[in-house]
Amino acid sequence: MTLIDNHLPTAELQALDAAHHIHPFTANTALGKKGTRVITQASGVYLTDSDGERILDGMSGLWCVNIGYGRKELADVASAQMNQLPYYNTFFQTSHPPVIALAARLAELMPGDLNHVFFAGSGSEANDTNIRMVRHYWALKGKPTKKTIISRKNAYHGSSMGSASLGGMQGMHAQGGMPIPDVTHIDQPHWYSEGGDMSPEEFGLHCARKLEAEIDRLGEDNVAAFIAEPIQGAGAVIIPAETYWPEIQRICDEREILLIADEVICGFGRTGNWFGSDTFNISPDIMTIAKGLSSGYLPIGGSVVTDEIAEVIGSDEFNHGYTYSGHPVACAVALENLRILEEEKIVDYARDDIGPYLQKKWMALADHALVGEARMTGMMGAIELSPDKVNRAAFASDKGTVGFIAREHSFGNNLIMRHVGDAMIICPPLVLSHDEADILVDRAVKTLDQTHKYLKKNGMMVSA
């Protein structure tokens, strides 16, 4: 227990981290010089760092700790399961109680006839499964040319070669030879930055119809699936207008295209319902899940498919699987997490109580001089920073410069907010109390005031 109770002094931890640890999505040399912030404990919605500072985690870790930190029940279940059966695979005609119970529980929770789960260790792996599964599905149905998967620019679907190819992050594609063949990307429904003079509703339809145009361009016989997050999370909490999803659904239904809803962030209460698909009335053929499935306590993800897809895939050997598919300890922890979400009515609390409470305060940030737009659904929200809010103008500085400055102030105020470009993002644990919501918003306001002052002082309130 020495790592928890009696760790090294911060400077020594930072030096060792800089010497030996390569951080994801990080310029490591620069971070090594600056020194990383070392998190040593967490409870509820608060993190504690190695200097004893308490930080309000406005991001639920990485969009995942839906039930909050420090739930002993999950630790107890993990310990018991480790003692009983720490590992066994499900490849060679074997199974085990935790994976059976979790698959059955998910089938109950899922909308429609999404009744069959292929487990993975993460969202990236689950989306890789989806690529192979939809192509194999169409091949088994005698349509092997239906291979292309259409996704969206600025989507995030993971970091493996396949899932990052599905994603539409240019910075990722620029490193390592992506996208892989037969993946294309249409525009995202990001009204604030791309909607121009259209109303949000017009723009929603306009973007959805890009899917139809892309199917026509590729030829329906060549398209396997469309994948999208109900709300783009890492893209900057992009909430589509209400015209968007019904039109996407119509197109997928009419054109025989499988619809994959990537619910890795939106699932398990985040949007105020069990799934983003419930919130937007989407009927996906496949759902990608991870993160909130275990509230991040252990790594687990999965692809949930309809009866029909399971039947087609089941007619042949699907040559695919991960060592940790259906890991018993991860499954047991996920089950316990789902029990807590349900029995403590945490999804209801997010929809009816803390969600509306926080939304009201968050949306009021739009009145701040630095904020061009505030948006929020359920318990995920964003504010767009702008030097000229009336015109939704971008800053003259490189994209992300101002966002980074705001994030540094936020860290200084002991609030974790993420920046995506010059938008600030929150995605707090669903168990946030009213008092904690007040503290979150107070610290966000303080951050905006400090950032605004800094930008004015340095002549940076300038439009591009």
Number of chain positions touching ligand PXG (CB under 6 A): 16
Residue of 183, 186, 234, 430 interacting with ligand PXG (CB under 6 A):
234
Residue of 50, 124, 273, 451 interacting with ligand PXG (CB under 6 A):
124
Q: How far is the CB of 301 from ligand PXG (least distance, A)?
A: 6
Residue of 58, 98, 158, 230 interacting with ligand PXG (CB under 6 A):
158
Instruction: Give the strands of the sheet with 380-385, arranged side by side.
Output: 371-377, 380-385, 423-426, 418-420
Q: Is 229 in the site for ligand PXG (CB under 6 A)?
A: yes
Q: Token digits for 175?
A: 């490193």
Q: How far is the CB of 66 from ligand PXG (least distance, A)?
A: 13
**In the complex with ligand PXG, which residue's Cβ is closer, 25 or 92?**
25
Q: Is 322 in the site for ligand PXG (CB under 6 A)?
A: no
Phi, psi (rounded to 5 degrees) for 305: -125, 165
Q: Return d(Cα 106, Cα 66) in angstroms, integer.
A: 17
Residue of 96, 136, 147, 157 interacting with ligand PXG (CB under 6 A):
157
Q: Is 62 in the site for ligand PXG (CB under 6 A)?
A: yes
Cβ atoms of residues 144 and 138 within 8 Å: yes
Q: How far is the CB of 25 from ligand PXG (least distance, A)?
A: 6
Q: How far is the CB of 101 from ligand PXG (least distance, A)?
A: 22
Contacts (CB under 6 A) with ligand PXG, residues 241-300: 262, 264-265, 290
**In the complex with ligand PXG, which residue's Cβ is closer, 166 or 455?**
166
What is the length of the chain? 464
Q: Is 128 in the site for ligand PXG (CB under 6 A)?
A: no
Q: How far is the CB of 262 from ligand PXG (least distance, A)?
A: 4
Q: How far is the CB of 121 from ligand PXG (least distance, A)?
A: 8
Q: How far is the CB of 221 from ligand PXG (least distance, A)?
A: 28
The sign one gets for the Cα dihedral 113, 114, 118, 119 is negative
**In the complex with ligand PXG, which residue's Cβ is closer, 183 or 290?**
290
Residue of 138, 156, 280, 324 interacting with ligand PXG (CB under 6 A):
156
Report in angstroms the alpha-carbon separations of 204 from 102, 239, 242.
Answer: 36, 10, 7
| Binding residues for ligand PXG (CB under 6 A) | 62, 122-124, 127, 156-158, 229, 233-234, 262, 264-265, 290, 301
